[in-house]
Structure 1
Amino acid sequence: MTRYQFCRLCCLGTLLFLGGCVTATVDEMVFNEPTVSLGESTVVILGRRHASDYETEPDFIQCLAKHITSADDSVNVMPELVFMNALYPWFEPRTAPMRPSDLERLLQKEAVQLKLKDMKTEYMVWIDGNTVRTDSAGSMSCGIGPGGAGCFGFGTWSNDANYEATIWDFTDRQEVGRVSTSATGQSYMPAVVVPIPIIAPVQGTACDGLGDQLLEFFSINY
């Protein structure tokens, strides 16, 4: 066994014993009593993007939609981009309704009413939040020597995910539910010749937690 192969085995062994650690919490979901069943209607999940330097990640929105439809394929989730294109420009960042009162004014437009009726969209879910990197520590150096190239060191960092889902009912023109989730995780990157990232699935954990709660709401509305 060469020195390089031995170092690779050491890294793989570290990967087996170390894992990104994630802790998550989901706040209690509070709903108004639904007055309309979902039936064959569609649901749309949108990310908040109301500032130039802030947005809810599109891949998180896609994760939620996939989580819900994978668990219950009877829930018809419309792709975010399809909905926004169909209702352009009313759900662009600068024009999207931010409060139920804004929704009331928007739904007074006949063109909007007709579009929603045509798409059979009953509920809209606003997702507000993001995942950010916080604390980081450690160091790593890489170089090229007579024996080849390699890196040595150890790094660690934290990611925090915080998301809130607000459910709006297009028929009653009001907010009918709200739930939030948070997740924190510690990731590692040991390097002995080859850096091996051990990533804590913070965003994925938040997606699963929030998705389960939304699924519970939509499943009981059939």
Structure 2
Amino acid sequence: MIWACLAPLVTGCVSATVDQMVFNSPTEGIGDASVVILGRRHASDYETEPDFIRCVGKHISSQDESIRIIDELEFVNTLYPWFEPRTAPLQAADLGRLLTHLPVAEKLAALQTRYMIWIDGSTVRNDAAGSMTCGISPGGAGCFGFGTWSNDADYEAVIWDFSNRAEVGRINASATGQSYMPAVVIPIPIIAPVQGTACDSIGDQLLEFLSQHY
């Protein structure tokens, strides 16, 4: 477990936990092959946040420019409709059936996709408490009060290898933090960077895995 409390007057404190399980690890690098990171979206009222997927991809690219990350939207549009919420493969075992479709196999070959990483999860806000009142008077406007809430992030990244059509690893990252909003005339948010911490945690583990195999 990792505790982070940076610039306490600006951000809240965050605790994070990361678990990694890797198996069927390849023994050779993948050279110029590419990696795509996708968010799970298999229900009309649920999706892994697109900005979180972008965050993980940017984290990896910024640390190792040799790893080629395909943009999620570009990949989904290129492979339309095979990775739409209702048609996307749910298990690595589905890859064999997917690759029997010649247009899909050709497009994946053109993109040189070696690893597909599915990320499932979300960040939610819980346990809001406190109160705040704001008003306007002849002397000016202002707010008074104090509010607090917690944010909880829980994400899982599943790594699929197209070369052997198998799942080769899983990474779980969770983070929780307390945010505050004191107000004496002006509200001052003190936000716990929960989602960013979870992004960095998963990004670091994926970077370690991918860097070993490039």
Compute the TM-score of the two structures, normalised by the length of structure 2: 0.94
Instruction: Check the 8 A contact 2:130/2:147 in 1, yes or no.
Output: yes
Does 1:76 pair with 2:68?
A: yes
Q: Return the letter of the residue paired with 1:124.
A: M
Provide the residue aligned with 1:122 in structure 2: 114
Which one has the largest radius of gyration?
Answer: 1
CA distance in 2, matches of 1:17, 1:112: 51
User: What's 1:94 paired with?
Assistant: 86
Match of 1:161 in 2: 153
- Give 1:30 shift: 2.2
Per-residue Cα deviation, 1:49-104 (whole angstroms, up to 9, x for no partner) = 00011100000000000000000000000000000000000000000000112222
Aligned counterparts of 1:221 and 1:138: Cα–Cα separation in 2: 50
Report the count of equivalent residues.
208
Mapped partners of 2:46, 2:8: distance in 1:
36
Q: Give, in whole Å, the separation in 2 of the partners of 1:62 and 1:122.
A: 19
3-state SS of 2:93 partner:
helix
Matched to 1:184, the amino acid is: T
Tell me, in whole angstroms, the C-alpha distance in 1 between the residues paired with 2:119 and 2:151: 19
Contact 1:38 1:218 in 2 (8 A): no
Which amino acid letter does the alignment assign opposite residue 109 of structure 1? H
Q: Alpha-carbon deviation of 1:33?
A: 2.0
Equivalent in the alignment of 2:182: 190
Amino acid at match of 2:177: G
Counterpart of 1:129, as a letter, is G
Cα contact 2:182–2:189 (8 A) shared by 1? yes
Cα RMSD, aligned residues only: 1.3
Deviations 1:116-174 (A, max 9, x none): 10011110000000000011110000011121111000000000000000000111111
1:5 match:
none
Segments ≥4 residues shifted beyond 4 Å: 15-18
1:44–1:83 Cα contact (<8 Å) kept: yes
Match of 1:210 in 2: 202
Counterpart of 1:57, as a letter, is E
TM-score of the superposition, structure 1-length normalised?
0.91
**1:47 is the counterpart of 2:39:** yes
| 1:27 partner amino acid | D
Q: Does 1:109 align with 2:126?
A: no
